[in-house]
Chains A and B, each alone.
Chain A
Amino acid sequence: MIRVESLQVHLGEFHLRDIRLTIPPNGFFVLMGPTGAGKTVLLEAIAGLIPVAGGTVHINGKDVTAATPEKRGVGIMYQDYALFPHLTVRQNAFFGVRYHGVDRRTSSERFKRLTEELNIGHLLARFPGTLSGGELQRVALARALMVEPAVILLDEPLSALDPVFREEIRLLLKNLHNATNTTFFMVTHDFAEALSLATQAAIINNGVIEQTGCILDIFQRPCSAFVADFVGMKNIFPAEFNGSLSRVGDITLQLPRPPLNAPRFIAIRPEDIIISNVPPEPALPNVFRGAVTAVIDQGFSYEIQLELKKMTFRAMIPKGGLIGLGLEMGKPVHFHLREEAIHTF
C-alpha cells in the first residue's frame, strides 16, 4: 500500500505540488501524463531518491518520508532498465539479495521460479550489453522481484519495446502482479496499456495531480479540459447550461439529465459521434447536419472533421466506414451526438 499526502518537491524550476495518492495493498496503479509532467520525479520521490520539501510518504502503513531508499522496501525499474552492465544476468538478479537477509535456499527457489516465469534461464551467463529490449525488460523485472519489495515502481516499462514484445511484457506484468503481494505503480503514456493493466489511475500535469480514481471514471468522466484532451476526448467546447439543455456556440444540445456542480465545458469522444447520410429514424435529439472538412488517415481508422456553424467536431470511423458512407471533402452528412456520451465538467 502507498499513501502520499501533500507531497512537495522542488527541483530547480520544476515543482511537484500537493500530491495526494492512495494505492491499496497489492493494487495496480497507473500514473499518466505528458512528457515533463513530473511522473519520474514522483516515482523517485516515493523511492526516496530525491529530497522532498514537504508532505509524507507511507509504505504499508509506515511513514518512510525520512527513510533512505534502501530502507523503504520500494523497487524501481526505469524505462532504460538500468541493468548493471558489468554484471551478468545472474549477478544482476542476485544483486539485492544480500541486503534482505534471505537465506540461500529461499533465494535459490525464488530465483528458479522467476527465471521460469520470466523465461530468462538461457540468459544467465550473459551480460546486459548482449540482450534485446524484451530480454533486458525481463531481467530487470527479475532483479526487482528477487527482493520481494512491498512496492515496485515501473517507469514506462513498455515504451521502448516493439509491439510484439510490448504485448508479451504487458501480459507478463499482469501475471506477476497476480502472483505476488507487491503493489505495482506504473508510469505510462499509453491509455490502452493503462486500461488493460490497472484499476486505479491518476493524471499528472505540470507537477499537479489533475484527477485520480477509478481508471474507467477518468476515461469516461474527466474533470478538466486537460484530462478530457489527454484521454482522447477531442471534442471539448465551452458551454452554458440551462437544466438539461446545453448551449454550445450556436447549437443546443440535449443532455440526459441536468448536470451537477455548475460545469463550464462539454466533451464528447470522437468514437461517440455517429455519422450517417440520412437522418436517423425515428427522430433523435442532437442530430445535426454539417459538412466534411477533413478526412485524416489514422492507420486503423479515419478521423473525420465536420463543420457546423463555425464549430469543428471530430468523429472517428473505421477504415471500411469511409467507403460505405462515401465520405469526401465538402460532402454534407448527418451526425448524431448521443446524449449519454456527452460529458460535462
Chain B
Amino acid sequence: MSRKEPLFWISLSCGAVVLAFIIMPLFEMLTAPSPEMLRETLEDRNVVRSIWLSIYTAGSAAGISFLLGTPLAYLLARRNFRGKRLVESIIDLPIVIPHPVVGIAILSVAGRNHWFGQILSELGIRVMGSVTGIIVVLTFVGMPFYINAVKDGFEGISPRLENVARSLGASLGGAFFRITFPLAWRSMLVGLIMCCARAISEFGAVVIVAYHPMIAPVMIYERFEGYGLKYSQPVAVWLILVCLALFLVLRILALPRKKEV
C-alpha cells in the first residue's frame, strides 16, 4: 500500500484511533495511583488473597479445560459424525450467553431445588459461595476458548503423521502421545492462555454464584461501589501487572522454536 493512496491514510487514522481507544484508559488507570498507594495496597492481605484466588481459580479452570477439553477437541478435529455442528455450537454457547445468565444457569442446576444440586450437596460439594463455585463458573466461560484453540491446533496436524506412526507399530494412544501431543502443545498453551485470560476477567457470573470468597474483579467492583474510583484503581493495577507477567511468560513459551521450522 503506497503512501499516495488515500486508503493508506484512512487505515493509518483508524489504527491510531483504535490504539488510543485501548491504550488511553489503561495508561490513565496504571499511572493514576501513586507508588505509595500501590505499596500500601500490596500490604493489604485481602487484596493479595483476592488476586491469588483469581489466579488459582482461573488456573484450575484452565487445568480442568485441559483434562476434559483436550480429548473432545481431538475427537472434533479428527472425526466427522452426525450432529458434529450441533456439538460445536453447544461448546460455543458460553461465549454468547450474557455473564449473569451463566451464573443463574449454574445456580439453577447446582442449587438445592435441582436433583443434581441435591446429589452434590449429599456428596458435600458446595457450589454457592465457594471456591468450587468460582472454578465451575470460570471453567464454564473459559473452556470454549481452550477447546476451539486446541481443535484448530489438532486440525493443523496432518492425520497422515498418526497413520504412519500406527503403521510403524504405535497404538492410537501411542501415536497421539508421541506425535500429535508434542506437535500440538503450543496450541494447547495458547488455548490455556485464552482460557485463563477469559476466566480471570470474569465478573458477572461469579458475583451471582460466589460473591465470597472474593476474587480480584469482585473486590475491585466492591471497592469502587463502596469507596470510589481512587480506592479501586490500585487493586486493578496489581491485577493487570500480575496477569501481564503471567501471560508474557506463557506467550514466550508458546513461540515456535527455530530448529523445527
Contact = CB atoms under 8 A, between A and B. Distances in A.
Interface stretch (B24-32, B158-166, B213-221, B240-248): B158-166
A69 B179 contact: no
B161 A70 contact: no
A345 B164 CA distance: 41
Interface of B: prevailing SS:
helix
Interface string B3-18: 0000000000000000
Nearest to A71: B169
The CB with the most chain B CB atoms within 10 A, among A44, A47, A82, A149, is that of: A82
B82 interface: no
B260 A147 contact: no
**How many of chain A's residues touch chain B, expressed as a range?**
20 to 34
B171 A80 contact: no
B158 A82 contact: yes
Interface stretch (A14-22, A93-101, A212-220, A291-299): A93-101
B168 interface: yes
B79 to A, nearest CB: 12
Contact of A76 (B167, B170, B178, B179): B167
Contacts of B261: 129
A95 B163 contact: no
Given A84-B179, A127-B259, A68 B166 contact: yes
A82 B179 CA distance: 11
A125 to B, nearest CB: 10
A47 B163 contact: yes
Interface string A33-72: 0000000000010011100000000000000000011101
Interface residues of B, number: 21
B183 interface: yes
Contact of B166 (A70, A127, A143): A70
Given A82-B160, A86-B183, A75 B167 contact: yes
Given A76-B163, A78-B160, A86-B182, A96 B169 contact: yes
A144 B165 CA distance: 10
B260 A69 contact: no
B189 to A, nearest CB: 15
List the 4 closest pairs (A to B, CB-CB), nearest first.
A99-B169, A96-B168, A69-B166, A82-B160
20 contacts: A47-B163, A48-B166, A68-B172, A70-B168, A72-B167, A74-B167, A76-B164, A78-B163, A78-B164, A82-B164, A84-B164, A85-B260, A95-B178, A96-B168, A96-B170, A99-B168, A99-B169, A100-B169, A129-B260, A143-B164
